[in-house]
Chain A
Amino acid sequence: MTPPLLAFEDVAKSFTLHLRGGAVLPVIAGATLAVRPGECVVLGGASGAGKSSLLKMAYGNYRCAAGAIRVRDGARIVDLATAAPREILGLRRTTLSYVSQFLRVIPRVGARAVVEAAGLEGGLAPAAARTRAGDLLARLNLPERLWALPPATFSGGEQQRVNIARGLIADRPILLLDEPTASLDARNRAVVVDLITEKRAAGTAILGIFHDADVREAVATRIVDVSAFHGALAA
C-alpha cells in the first residue's frame, strides 16, 4: 500500500479556557487516521465531536496537545505538532490546501485576482494561474461580470464558490475541506463533487467534512467517525 500523505498518530486536543477559571475542555483524544494519495477520507460524527478541530490541526491552525500529525513533503516527513511556524508556512505553500467554510475577504481585490493569487502562491506560472482561475470560476457558475469585483459584495454562495476556487486552483498533494458545499445549491454542489473527484483521480489526498449526505456519498472513499476518538477522553 502507498504510504499516507497525512497521518494522525494518537492526537489529542483540548482547550484551556483561562477566562473561565482555567477550565479544560477536551475535544479529541487518541485520534489515529491516515490519508493516502487518491483517497477522500470524510470525517463523520455529531456536531461538536471535533471534526473541524482535526482539520484545523492538519493545517497547523490549531495546536496539538499530544501525538503527532505527520505530513509527507516530498521525500521528508514533517510533524505538524512540533514544526516551527516557518515550516508550517512552507507546507501551506507547497503541500497543504485548505478550504474553510467562509471566505476571509480581502478588501479591494477582485474575485478572479483572489483566486489567481492563490494559484501563484501555489507555484503556478502567472499565465496558468490566470487561465485556471477563469476556468474554475466559470465551472463554478460565477457570472463573469463578477470576476473583477471584490467578493465582499457577493452573496454567501458566491463567496463560497470563490473560496473553493481559491482552495483548488493549486495542485497541492493534500486537500483539507471544511464543509465547502454548505451554502451551495444542488447544481453547484454537483460541480464541487466533480472537482473533488478529479483531484482524487489526480492523486490528491483529501480529508473533509461534508454535512450533505449525498455529497458525502459521492466523494468519500472512507468515512471515519470522529466520536471514536473520544474513548480516551472518557477514560
Chain B
Amino acid sequence: MNPSNPAAAPAAVTVSAGPGYSFAYLDAGTKRMIRRAILKAIAIPGYQVPFAAREMPMPYGWGTGGVQVTAAILGAADVLKVIDQGADDTTNAVSIRRFFTATAGIATTTRTAEASVIQTRHRIPEAPLVEGQVLVYQVPIPEPLRFLEPRETETRQLHALAEYGLMHVKLYEDIARHGHIATTYAYPVEVAGRYVMDPSPTPKFDNPKMDDCPALQLFGAGREKRIYAIPPYTRVRSLDFEDHPFRVQSFDRPCALCGAEGVYLDEVVLDDAGGRMFVCSDTDHCESRLGESCLGETRRADGQTGEAA
C-alpha cells in the first residue's frame, strides 16, 4: 500500500510478490547459480565456494548472504524462522521474515521445532535441530585465516594444502595474551577432518551443536561472495591445544526468566543503578519453557504477586 515506507505500514507485508517479482525475490537464473554453489559446498564440507552474490534490497551486514541462500532453497511449503542473536523479535529478524512473507508468501514461525528453514545471525537454537531442517547462517567474514593473512591468494593456497598452522598461531596469541583461548565467538572449526572454517560470529558455546548435527547447515557471506556448508551428521571439531583444550562458556546461574540451565544467556541491563539480569538468548526456547510453566527467579517472584492479584 505504501511501498516507499513499509516500516510505517505493517499491512504492506501481507501483500504477496507483485507481478514482475519471482518467488522469493531472486530470479530463476540466480537461484540456479546459488543452488549450484550450495551443492558444491555440501559436496566439499567447509570449503568456501565463490558465488556471484546479488545486490539485495537491504544493506550489507543485514544478512544479504544468508537471505540469498534462503531465497534459493525456499519452497512454497517451507516454514521459515529468522533469529538474530537468538531472538525472533529484533529489527533484523523481523524485517527478513517480512521480506520472505512478502516475496514468497510462505509461512513463518518463531518455533524452532516447527521451522523447516531457520535463518540465523550469531546463534544456533537451543532446541536440538532435526533431520530435514536447514540452518542458514549470515556470515560477515567467511575466511578464518584472514586475521593473520590478508592475502586472498595465500589463504586459498593454505586451504588447498590444508596448512592450518596459522590458525593455531591465532589461538597461541590468545593464550599468550590472556592465559586462555580468549576467542569466544567465530571460534574456528575443522570440518570433516579437512577444511578449517569460520562458524560465523556465533558464540563458541554453540560450536558443539554443529558437530554431528542432523540438520543441514549452510553459510552465506553476501559482501564476500562465499557460500559454505556442513552436511548433516558431519564431524565438526573446534581447534585447540592439547594443554588448552576447547571449552564452552559456562554460566554460574540459570536463566532469570525460565530457569533454564546449560543454555546461552544474554546480560540485560535493567536500570541506571547497575541492575542486570541474565536471560536466555534464545527467546523461543525461553518462551516455550515459560509456556510449560518453568519459572526462573524473576517470574517466580512476579508469579506470586501476579497470581495473588
Q: Do chains A and B touch in the complex (CB under 8 A)?
A: no
Residues of B near any A CB (own CB < 8 A): none
Residues of A near any B CB (own CB < 8 A): none
